[in-house]
Amino acid sequence: MNTNSKNWDFQSSPSADFYVNRETDTLVYAMGGLGEVGKNMYCVEHQDEIIIMDCGVRFPEDDLLGVDYVVPDYTYLSKNADKIKALIITHGHEDHIGGIPFFLKACPCKTIYAPRFAIALIEKKLDEHRMSRAVKLVEINGESRITTKFFHVGFFNTIHSIPDSLGLIVNTPNGTIVETGDFKFDLTPVGTNSDYQKMAYMGAIGTTLLMSDSTNSGVREFSPSEREVSASILDTMRHTSGRLIIATFASNVNRVAQIISNAIACGRKICVFGRSMINVIEIGRRLGTITAPDDAFVEPEMLANMPANKVCLICTGTQGEPLAALSRIANGTHRWIHIIPGDTVLFSSSVIPGNQAAIGAIINKLCRIGAIIVDNNIINTVHTTGHASSEEQKLMMQLTKPDYFMPMHGEYKMLKQHAISATETGIPDDHIFLMTNGDVLAMRNKEVFFTNLRIPTDAVYVDGNDTNGVAAAVLKDRKILADNGLVAVIVTIDSRYNKILCRPNIVSRGFVFIKKNQELLRDAEIVVYNALARRLQQKTTFGDLKTTIKTTLEPYFYQKTHRSPIIIPVILNMRAAMEQNAARQRAQISRR
């Protein structure tokens, strides 16, 4: 993209000292979803009312060791819980609903409004967290309306990779906000079509602020139709003589429905692997999104007695996840499936940036044991995105005709590319707002301004179900442990005489190989012993001794190995000394 012809100078953070009148202005801000893919949570606030749009999680990067989810800091919303009038969900993907259990624990909410498929997924999620009675779930669709004292919310159908995907129209006292949710335009869709008429109507009557999905802003062409993908998968299925294993995202419900329909059309029995895939198919069949008779499915133990050309396996693991079904199949550790030379593995997915190495390793293993690989390419269109390309994003702008624009849902590069597309459609530079999580826009009389307000939105790292989050210091320690290991120093003393009873004992884990570094550890023990002997000649405390051990060993180990392990001092006191200290403390207490 050539941007040299113009100096694209979009503000990335509030700079104007714009005075906010909380009695009359409408505030717009994101708790998550800006500068990142995931953790979507957008808020509109006016006086004593807050409407929240989506409540998602972000999955951790490799350097967040032991972290299961990343969620927004809900402190601000918790302090203003009495203002929250509605939590509205646009669709049922994890980056839009995954944070709901953690949000409800931090900030009780009376009602969640969500489309049909999303409600089924939320119910299952709340059951897993034993919170099924924590909130009332109200189903919404493209014709629904939500009305509060200051807000009137309407909806329009969009196309995404999951059924029942909605965009929002939020009428506020200071103008109209259109929030697209995740969307794409598909002229031959599977399922419900986009509400082009409503979008165009919003453009006719006037959209003050458009908040639009930026995920695929770097892709120029219109994305292929889901029906084109279905036809390509069906063609592959018909020309595959052996077993067919199809790996795809469980969240891509429309794709899964098409795969199942094609398998039935080809006379193949379906076997499903992966807990998330099983859950989605169960919900899809119950809601009628996936239509298939019970006898279309077979149990894993029946596969061994079935003809290879009569089997279609559907599984998770397209991103090389170590514990997913496809990884276990490739490693030969799956309980039911072992690759037979001539099996075809079809990847109906895209490569998420950062997962290339893991996916490449899986493909190489599958090829090595005789599998035929089919992936998305120019010849075989076996995957399409659920997010709008830049041309589709421009179409959304042309339909809704916003006066102001805020790109959302994407990394900074995606937001910037979306902002450039907005200028190409005629939106002035100073009407485009590149925001970060916590930045606040103010709407006043159908005008939108940056403000100097800031909402605290630090990320919270969830380990298991602990909603308190993992402290940054803990993550730092985990990183040090992963890189440099741990050294425990055990010292036995007699505090009555300030005397070390024996040479310290050093135990290493993940720092050095003990058998080959006995001399290093022996020398370290002597260094610690000498430092403690000098320290014990003075009046000292257990804290002083631990500090002495750390300050002595840290530079010593770095000088010898250029590594800085975590050092854990362990001070053992003689039983007699401990009893004497306890008696002294009891005497002091009795004198008081």
- The question of whether 338 is a catalytic residue gets the answer no
Query: DSSP secondary structure string, 338-379?
Result: ---TT-EEEEES-PPTT-HHHHHHHHHHHHHTTPEEE---SS
Contacts of 293 (CB under 8 A, 6+ apart): none
Rounded Cα distance, 319 and 327, in Å: 9
DSSP H stretches of helix in 274-430: 275-287, 325-331, 356-368, 390-400, 412-424
Residue with tokens 């659920």: 386
Structure tokens at 440: 């606040």
Q: What are phi and psi of 278, to 5 degrees?
A: -60, -45
Cα angle 240-308-366, degrees, rounded to a multiple of 5: 70
Asked if 182 is an active-site residue, the reply is no
Q: Provide the residue count of the chain.
A: 592
C-alpha–C-alpha distance, residues 75 and 58, integer Å: 18
Among 387, 409, 439, 463, which one carries the catalytic annotation? Answer: 387
* Residue of 164, 195, 213, 343 marked active site: 213
d(CA 534, CA 399): 79
Can you spell out the DSSP letters for 481-538? HHHH-EEEEEEEEETTTTEE-S--EEEEESSS-GGG-HHHHHHHHHHHHHHHHHHTTS
Which residues belong to the active site? 213, 387
